[in-house]
Each structure stands twice: as C-alpha cells, then as structure tokens.
Amino acid sequence: MENEDPSNSVVRASDKSSTFDSYESKKEFYAKVLTIYGRNPVLEALRDESLRIHRLHLSRSNKPSPELKTMITLAEKRGIEIRTHEKHALSRISKNARQDQGVALDIVLENLASPEEFLRGRSRYRLLALDRVTNPQNVGMITRSAAAGNIDGLLLAARGNAPLVSPLTIKASAGTLFRLPILRSASLLEALEMFRRDGAEIYTLDSHASQSWRELRVAPKAVFVLGNESEGVDPKIAALADRRIRIPMNRGVESLNVAVTAALLSFMD
C-alpha cells in the first residue's frame, strides 16, 4: 500500500497512529489496513463510528462539493488524519483511478491477516474461500454464517470479490465482519496452493460429484471454495481440488444461493 508520498500535504492530522516504534510494528499495522474508495462508500464508512479509521485521502483535483465538505467535517470530528495528494498519487493509493472519484479511506481491521500469519502454529483449521463472489449481501451473509458456525476464517483475494467494507456487506454480516479472521491474498490460487503445501484438503462444490456433502469426512485442515454466483469456481482453482462434493437437490432445483451453501458448510460436523 503506497500511502507515503513526500509530495503529500497534511491538511489536518490529529491522529497519532502514524508514529511507529519500529519497521516491524509499521509493517504489522499496515497489514491490517484496508483501503476503500468512492464517495458513497467513504462517506458511509466515516459515518460508521464502529469502524477504526486511520486516514482520509483526497485528490487536489477535487472540486468543492457538499459530499467532500461532509467527509472533512466527519473526519475532523473524529480526529482522523486528512491528506491531500496529486491525482496520480491518489490513484496509487486507491488502486482504481477510474472509480475512486478522488477519495480513499484507510480502515483498520484488526481481524485482517495474511495466510502466512494465520498458518503459524495451527494444526487444525476449516476455512471458506471466496472465488469472485461479487454480491456484497452474499459476502456479508457468508461471513455471518462462518462466524456463527465451525469456520476458522474467510479466505479471499484482495480484488475480484465484493468490497469487504460497504454498507450492504456490513449490514448483511450483522457486525460479524469484525469478529471472524479475514485472510487476504493477492492471488486466491497462490493462497490455496500454500494451504495445500501445509497439508490442507481443498473442496469444491459440483452438482455432478459422486460424493454427497453429508458423507464427507472433513480433513483436520480443510478449505471449502465457493465460486462466483453465475460462473462458479474458476477452472484453474477447480483443478486444485482434492475432492468435489455435491449437495443433493430435490424437485428439479439445480443449485442453491452461494450464501445458503456457505451456511450449510459452516455447520458441518
């Protein structure tokens, strides 16, 4: 994450969390920072006082607007640091120049971790992995089921899924988004390969599989992969699967919503 730019000017900065005792503490802190962008998502996040916010970023090219004025007012009220950047620098922070609308916000998620951090010292775990699940309500409901059930964490790529922090995701998760370990990787495929090297079994859902989910004896280390709402699991990821399982359907029903599937898997023995 490129938040440090010598050309930045600090508009207001009452937040002292930018001071670190060491490089390691700084690295550890930023590993838990999730950057969102776009005026509506940023405004909603600033209004949500349950979120811990590190920094608000604004582009110098922004024209005055009621939205920006409200953002600045909310940030000042909460003591959040505000930084302005040249447009290209803001784009590096948001990583989405086309859609950031000149604003980005750093949110601190204490439950956010890398797969490497999660694996340290663990002999057993059960994860749900999301492969391009794009509906924020689905992501929120999956998180809620995973937190309530027998799931130790949610694994997903940094990009490609619905935003973790959005009004719809947070509402659908009923606050559990901040209780369940969230494992974020640049590549879901590479993360799954890492878990396989650690001895985990990878499971995917397939309506044509011979084994029913009820017959499955879940391995001590297990990752269930849930695919895109319309396309399913990416073929390269499906090729990694140790087993394909099915949820038998009655009365000609072809499939279940991905969030419903996640709920069933979350409460398996």
Q: How confident is the model at residue 5 (pLDDT cuts 50, 70, 90)?
A: very low
**Mean pLDDT, to the nearest integer, of 189-198?**
97
**Mean pLDDT, to the nearest integer, of 77-102?**
94
Identify any residues that bridge with 34 across adjacent strands, giving them in sequence order.
107
Total domains present in the chain: 2
| Residue 2 clears pLDDT 60, i.e. is over it | no
Two tokens, residue 3: 């938040």
Contacts of 253 (CB under 8 A, 6+ apart): none
Domain containing residue 240: CATH number: 3.40.1280.10
How high is the pLDDT of residue 13? 45
Domain containing residue 99: CATH number: 3.30.1330.30
How high is the pLDDT of residue 174? 83
| Residue 110 clears pLDDT 80, i.e. is over it | yes
Tell me how far apart the alpha carbons of residues 240 and 225 are, in angstroms, rounded to a whole number: 10
Q: Please identify, among 83, 108, 133, the residue that sits at the C-terminal boundary of a domain.
A: 108
Judge if 118 and 244 occupy the same domain. Answer: yes
Judge if 94 and 163 occupy the same domain. Answer: no
Judge if 126 and 240 occupy the same domain. Answer: yes
Q: Mean pLDDT lowest for which of 23-32, 69-78, 127-136? A: 23-32
How high is the pLDDT of residue 10? 47
Phi, psi of 82 (to 5 degrees): -120, 125
**Mean pLDDT, to the nearest integer, of 185-199?**
96
How high is the pLDDT of residue 237? 96
Two tokens, residue 125: 């775990």
How high is the pLDDT of residue 9? 46
Quick: pLDDT tens for 136-186: 999 999 999 999 999 999 999 988 999 887 778 888 888 788 889 999 999
Judge if 141 and 126 occupy the same domain. Answer: yes
Identify any residues that bridge with 112 across adjacent strands, giving them in sequence order.
182
The DSSP line for 7-76 is T-EEEE----TT--SSHHHHHHHHTTEEEEESHHHHHHHHH-TTSEEEEEEEETTPPP-HHHHHHHHHHH
Dihedral angle, C-alpha 237, 158, 124, 121, nearest 10 °: 130
**Mean pLDDT, to the nearest integer, of 53-63?**
96
Tell me how far apart the alpha carbons of residues 88 and 233 are, in angstroms, rounded to a whole number: 35
Tell me how far apart the alpha carbons of residues 102 and 97 are, in angstroms, rounded to a whole number: 8
Q: Please identify, among 60, 85, 108, the residue that sits at the C-terminal boundary of a domain.
A: 108
Q: In this structure, is residue 203 part of a structural domain?
A: yes
Q: Mean pLDDT lowest for which of 41-45, 234-238, 243-247? A: 41-45
How high is the pLDDT of residue 19? 54
How high is the pLDDT of residue 46? 93
Judge if 94 and 37 occupy the same domain. Answer: yes
